[in-house]
Amino acid sequence: MEQPNLNYINDLSGDNAEFKQKLIAILKRELPEEIDVYNKEYANVNYLLAAQSVHKLKHKISILGLEKSYYIAEEYENNLKENSTDLKAVFENILESMQEFVSDL
């Protein structure tokens, strides 16, 4: 399984450490909130709204350099739109690895 990284954030911020820290702070704040919304919508069997949450989370996935995981999330989003939960466990493993990585920053 691929690992989250800061390559994109490093490229984006260049030598601006203050900007880099602001981006990381946004990730640390928004990621848990977006995951909570996804979990709530999924638990309420609101698959269309859960798919919208997955769509938002795809941005965080790409920011953390998870290219393969982005495509998995995209497929999972489409599955949810069709009331299928295929790839749920894989997607939630991605979320878990992202949360662990971000909390350690």
- Contact (CB, 8 A) for 87 and 76: yes
- Contact (CB, 8 A) for 4 and 78: no
User: pLDDT tens-digit profile of 41-92?
Assistant: 999 999 999 999 999 999 999 999 999 999 999 999 999 999 999 999 999 9
2 lies in a domain?
A: no
Q: What are phi and psi of 17, to 5 degrees?
A: -65, -35
What's the rounded Cα separation, in Å, for the pair 101 and 105? 7
13 lies in a domain?
A: yes
Domain containing 87 equals 7-103
Is the pTM higher than 0.75? The answer reads yes
The total domain count for the chain is: 1
Q: What CATH number is given to the structural domain containing 49?
A: 1.20.120
> Encoding tokens for residue 83?
């009331």
